[in-house]
Amino acid sequence: MSTLPPHNPPRSVRLWLLIVYAMIGAMVIIGGITRLTGSGLSMVEWHPLMGALPPLDETSWKAVFARYQLSPQYDQVNQWMTLADFKQIFFWEYLHRLFGRLIGVVFFAPWLVFTLRKQLRGRVAWRAGAAFVLGGAQGLLGWFMVKSGLVDVPEVSHFRLAAHLSLAFFVACWVQWLWMDLAWGRPKSDPNKPAVPGWAVWGLVSLITVQVVYGAFMAGKRAGLIFSTFPDMNGQWLPDGWSAGSSTLAALINNPIAIHFLHRTLAWFVLAAALAVGHIARTRAVTPLQTRLAWLLGGLTLVQVALGAATVMSHVNIPIATLHQGTALLLLSTALAVAHQRSCADDV
C-alpha cells in the first residue's frame, strides 16, 4: 500500500472509517463464536438480498429445521438435536450473516453521501469504494466456504476457511490504512533517526499473516484439541505423527498434528520478530505516536502468545479462543500501523 496525497476530509469521514473497522473486528469475533459453537452449517441456504428476516413463526422454524435435517451435519453429528437446540446454533450463523449485511449498509450509504458531496474524492473515494467491493466478495467467499460442508463431510474446507478469515483481515487492514492516511497524515522525519527498515516491518506483517492462516487451519482441522499442554505438546517438542501424509508439504497443510506444531513454532518467531521490530521502532521514534505503537506491538504480541497457550490448555475454551482470534487482528493492525508510520517517513 502507498500513502495518499494530502487530503483533509471532514471528521465525520474519519469517524465513519473507524466505525467500519470496529464493525469488521466485531464480525471477526462473531465469526469465531460461530465456528467454535459448530453453528456455521446451520443455515443450508443463502439468500443475500432476501434472507435478512429469520423464521417468524413455528411453521417457518419447522421448515428451516427440516431442511437442516437433510444436511450431513445433522445426519452424522447432530441427530440428537431438537428444534430448541437447533435454534441456538441457528442464532449465531444468522447473526453472522445479518451483521455482514449491516456492515455493507453502514459502509455504502455514507460512502455514497460523502462522494456525492465531494467530501470523498479522487483516489480516496475509489479506495474507499474498493473496500465495499471486497466486502461483497467476502460474503460470496463465506457461502463458498459453507457449501464445502454441505456435501458429504460436515466440515468446511480449512483452505476455504483460511481464505474467508484472511479476506476479512485484509478488508479490515484496507480500511485501517485509509483511515491512517486521513487521520495521521505524514509525520516529521529526523535525519538522525532513520526509519525502521522496510524489510523488517513488512517481514513482520507477512509473518503475522502466515500465522493467521495457520490459525484458521487450526480451527478448520480442530487441531487445537490435539495437545493441551504448553510449551511442550503432551510431553513432546516434536510430536509423533507430524509428517504423516503423502508428502511433507501435504502434511504441513493438511495434517492436524503438523498444523498445531507449526502454529506454535510460528508463534515464537512472531514474538521474537515483534519484540525486535518494536525495540527498533521505539529507539527510532520521532513522535509520541510512534513510541506508543512500538510499545503496543510488543505488549500485544505477549498477550497473544499467552492467549494461544491458554486456548490449548483450556481445551479451546470458547471465550478464550474467540479473544485469541480478535487479538490476532489487533496485532496485525498494530504491525501495519508501524509500517504506515515507516512508509510515511520515507515519503516525507
Percent of the chain beyond pLDDT 70? 93
Per-residue pLDDT tens for 299-326? 999 999 999 999 999 999 999 999 999 9
Helix and strand element counts for the chain (H, E): 11, 0
Q: How confident is the model at residue 348 (pLDDT cuts 50, 70, 90)?
A: very low
Query: Which residues make Cβ contacts (< 8 Å) with residue 79, sequence separation at least 6?
Result: none
Q: What is the pLDDT of residue 6?
A: 46
pLDDT digits (tens, 9 = 90+) for 70-99: 999 999 999 999 999 999 999 999 999 999
pLDDT for 25 equals 97
Q: What is the pLDDT of residue 5?
A: 45
User: Helix 158-184 vs helix 318-347: angle between axes, to the nearest 10 degrees?
Assistant: 50
Question: Given this model, what pLDDT does residue 54 score?
Answer: 84
Question: What are the residue boundaries of the structural domains of the chain, listed by start?
Answer: 8-185, 187-348
* pLDDT tens digits, 247-275: 889 999 999 999 999 999 999 999 999 99
Q: What is the mean pLDDT of residues 24-41?
A: 95
- Does the pLDDT at position 53 exceed 60? yes
DSSP string, 175-198: HHHHHHHHHH--PPPBTTBPPPPH
Q: Give residue-wise pLDDT tens across range 155-181.
A: 899 999 999 999 999 999 999 999 999
Exposed/middle/buried for residue 79 (C-beta within 10 Å: 0-12, 13-18, 19+) = exposed
Strand ranges, E, within 205-260: none
Residues in the chain: 348
Distances from the Cα of 220 to the Cαs of 155, 160, 166, 246, in angstroms?
8, 9, 13, 20
